[in-house]
Amino acid sequence: MRSDIIKKGCQRAPNRALIYGTGVSKNQMDAPFIGICSSFTDLIPGHSGMRILERFAEKGIHTGGGQAFIFSVPGVCDGISMGHSGMRYSLPSRDAIADIIECVVNAHSLDGVLFITNCDKITPGMLMAAARLNVPSIFVTAGPMMSGNYRMKRRDFITDSFEAASKAATGEIDEDEITNMEMTACPGEGACQGLFTANTMACLTEVMGMSMPGCATAMAGMAKKRRIAFDSGVRLVSLVKEDIKPLDIMNEKAFRNAIKADLALGGSTNTTLHLPAIAYEAGINLNLDSFDVLSKETPHITSLLPGGKYFMEDFEFAGGVPAVMKSLENHLEDNITVSGMTVKEICKAAENYDEDIIRPVDNPYHKEGGIAVLRGNIAPGGSVIKQSAVQPDMMIFTGTAKTFNSEEDAMAAIMGGVIKNGDIVVIRYEGPKGGPGMREMLAPTAAIMGLGLTKVALITDGRFSGGTRGPCVGHISPEAAEGGMIALVKDDDKITINIPERRIHLEVSNEELEKRRADFTAPAPKAASGYLAKYAKGVSSAGDGAIFKRDK
């Protein structure tokens, strides 16, 4: 076993002494040493219930014949960090988490790792670590949050807090109403209730084969989730004994399956950052073109929040990820999974209990997948939009640019009534390097929706929350801080967004753009010290997944 290096032979007496100091019995010294990597924290609803999952995972590991050791990694809540400078730390935390896990697992020569995760950057950070380390691993995502309820109407975090905030600011709802909304929007533990980034990544983790069937949508706090944690612990010990490693599972087939499922679900655009970053750690080249090619042949078959009408609990009760896989069976490639079942075996065993929540591929909500990749003079390196959340009359749109060099300036203009129907809000210097950290623009997009500005688009070199809906184009590459064309846009320029043709174009002549380029002076970096300054120096373009490339 991998752990033999710290526990076998007379020279390891000091090592064993320290291990015995933790309470490990002599009999267990020969068992596989299994890490439980938990992102428990009281700071995040999606993670606040993980202590009990740790217990059940630990029981499962010991039942399977292993010795469990719990260690922790930090978590950043995108919702709490949203709309201020704290959001700059969200995406960078993904890479910090992967590095922390590498340090702990390799320093202690663990034989396997059970990952307990849930939210936006933590799940991909853990998957990056699993691929990098290639030690037998299994994932337990902690589950979606149940819907809230106020005045006998189901409530969710995005609509009933972010968009309600805009209505409160304009006097459409009063202080008591916004207070009641915010107190019922998040009724307890779990990841936010729609197919936002956290739940999207949980679903893709299951499709890739790194978690047990049914794990992604098993609701937070439910007995089913505890049973999955227990079963995952038992199964991981078998994976160690069988020497089945992440790279045996996370191969090219698994990533193609994940992209297809993402497109069929209408998942978060953040997956165009996370899947390439995980693939990079697995030694697989994955780029934006993969998403666009597959989007044209993969139908969108669910109607989940934020662009649709159903909650994650509805998705769970309809059959969850296995039911989606069943609908997509002819689109998916067979592969092994941590469960011991193959992809095709999971498809055949699944049941779909509601064909409106999860439609068959011959009756989709949209003929194409949820994500589209747009290119043009303003985004030669690509940009992304969740096309499944765009109204039909905004699929082709030409608008007037209103430019802002930060999210805060854009928010002030939106809330101040500066933005009108027919405008395109341009937010720049919020990319991986320029932000630094590539902040999510949920607050501006939710404000636009909350104010009823249905003929306004937003483009940015930053990114969007999985909760964003409407004609919002993110990940503009190259970003402004790299000298990208988005830095040269001026107020009142015309910009055309054409989703069917996959095109985004700044309607300014090449001669004028060359003149602007000659006169252009980049602003000073926003972070001069600390982790964010270090991050800005090493991170790649959003078009590559905003990752650290070791061959740079």
- The pLDDT tens digits of the residues spanning 38-81 come to 999 999 999 999 999 999 999 999 999 999 999 999 999 999 99
The boundaries of the domain holding residue 377 are 372-521+531-544
Residue 57 belongs to a domain:
yes
| Residue 344 belongs to domain with CATH number | 3.40.50.2300
Going through 238-328 in order, the beta strands assigned E by DSSP cover: none
| Residue 383 belongs to domain with CATH number | 3.50.30.80
> With bands split at pLDDT 50, 70 and 90, how would you rate the model's confidence at 442?
confident
The domain boundary, picked from 317, 349, 381, lies at 349
CA distance linking residue 473 with residue 471, whole number of Å: 7
Residue 217 and residue 285 share a domain:
yes
- The pLDDT tens digits of the residues spanning 7-25 come to 999 999 999 999 999 999 9
Residue 460 and residue 341 share a domain:
no
The domain boundary, picked from 283, 317, 349, lies at 349
User: Which pLDDT score is estimated for 83?
Assistant: 86
Residue 411 and residue 329 share a domain:
no
Q: Decide: 462 and 409 in contact? Cβ < 8 Å.
A: no
Residue 414 and residue 312 share a domain:
no
Q: Decide: 474 and 464 in contact? Cβ < 8 Å.
A: yes
What is the percent of the chain where pLDDT is above 90? Answer: 93
The reply to whether 465 belongs to the active site is yes
User: Which pLDDT score is estimated for 230?
Assistant: 99
User: Which pLDDT score is estimated for 466?
Assistant: 81
CA distance linking residue 425 with residue 422, whole number of Å: 10
116, 100, 102: which is closest to 68 by C-alpha? 116
Give the tokens for residue 264: 């069929």
Residue 497 and residue 394 share a domain:
yes
Q: Has residue 419 got a pLDDT over 80? A: yes
Q: Which helix (H) or strand (E) holds 329?
A: none
Q: Has residue 552 got a pLDDT over 80? A: no
Give the Cβ contact number of residue 493 at 10 Å: 19
Residue 454 and residue 387 share a domain:
yes
Residue 455 and residue 336 share a domain:
no
User: Which pLDDT score is estimated for 166?
Assistant: 83
User: How far is residue 24 CA from its own chain's centroid?
Assistant: 37
User: Which pLDDT score is estimated for 221?
Assistant: 98
Ranges of H-type helices in 118-174: 122-133, 164-169
Cβ-Cβ contacts under 8 Å for 322 (sequence gap 6 or more)? 213, 214, 346, 347, 349, 350, 351
Residue 299 belongs to a domain:
yes
- The pLDDT tens digits of the residues spanning 191-221 come to 999 999 999 999 999 999 999 999 999 999 9
Q: Decide: 139 and 50 in contact? Cβ < 8 Å.
A: no
Q: What is the mean pLDDT of residues 279-289?
A: 96
- The pLDDT tens digits of the residues spanning 447-481 come to 998 899 999 999 999 999 888 888 999 999 999 99
- Report the length, in residues, of the chain: 552
Q: What are the b/e assignments for 196-214, b being 16+ CB within 10 Å?
A: bbbbbbbbbbbbbbbbbbb
Q: Has residue 551 got a pLDDT over 90? A: no
Residue 15 belongs to a domain:
no
The answer to whether the annotation marks 121 as part of a ligand binding site is: yes
Residue 106 belongs to a domain:
yes
Residue 399 and residue 310 share a domain:
no
The answer to whether the annotation marks 514 as part of a ligand binding site is: no
227, 225, 168, 166: which is closest to 191 by C-alpha? 225
Q: What are the b/e assignments for 342-374, b being 16+ CB within 10 Å?
A: ebeebbeebebeeeebbbebeebbbebbbbbbb
- How many domains does one find in the chain? 2
Residue 412 and residue 510 share a domain:
yes
- The pLDDT tens digits of the residues spanning 77-124 come to 999 999 899 999 999 999 999 999 999 999 999 999 999 999 999 999
- The pLDDT tens digits of the residues spanning 295-321 come to 999 999 999 999 899 999 999 999 999
CA distance linking residue 164 with residue 64, whole number of Å: 49
Q: Decide: 403 and 489 in contact? Cβ < 8 Å.
A: yes
The answer to whether the annotation marks 120 as part of a ligand binding site is: yes
Residue 458 and residue 313 share a domain:
no
- The pLDDT tens digits of the residues spanning 355-378 come to 999 999 999 999 999 999 999 999
Residue 379 and residue 275 share a domain:
no
Tokens 């800005």 -> residue: 536
Q: Which helix (H) or strand (E) holds 505?
A: strand 503-506
Residue 20 belongs to a domain:
no
- The pLDDT tens digits of the residues spanning 145-168 come to 999 999 999 999 987 898 888 888
Average pLDDT, the chain: 96
The answer to whether the annotation marks 329 as part of a ligand binding site is: no
Residue 399 and residue 517 share a domain:
yes
Residue 153 belongs to a domain:
no
Which among 39, 327, 465, 541 is annotated as catalytic? 465
Residue 24 belongs to a domain:
no
163, 160, 138, 139: which is closest to 151 by C-alpha? 160
CA distance linking residue 201 with residue 423, whole number of Å: 32
- The pLDDT tens digits of the residues spanning 165-189 come to 888 888 999 999 999 999 999 999 9
Residue 356 belongs to a domain:
no
**544 beta partners:** none
CA distance linking residue 254 with residue 247, whole number of Å: 10
The domain boundary, picked from 315, 349, 383, lies at 349
What is the percent of the chain where pLDDT is above 70? Answer: 100
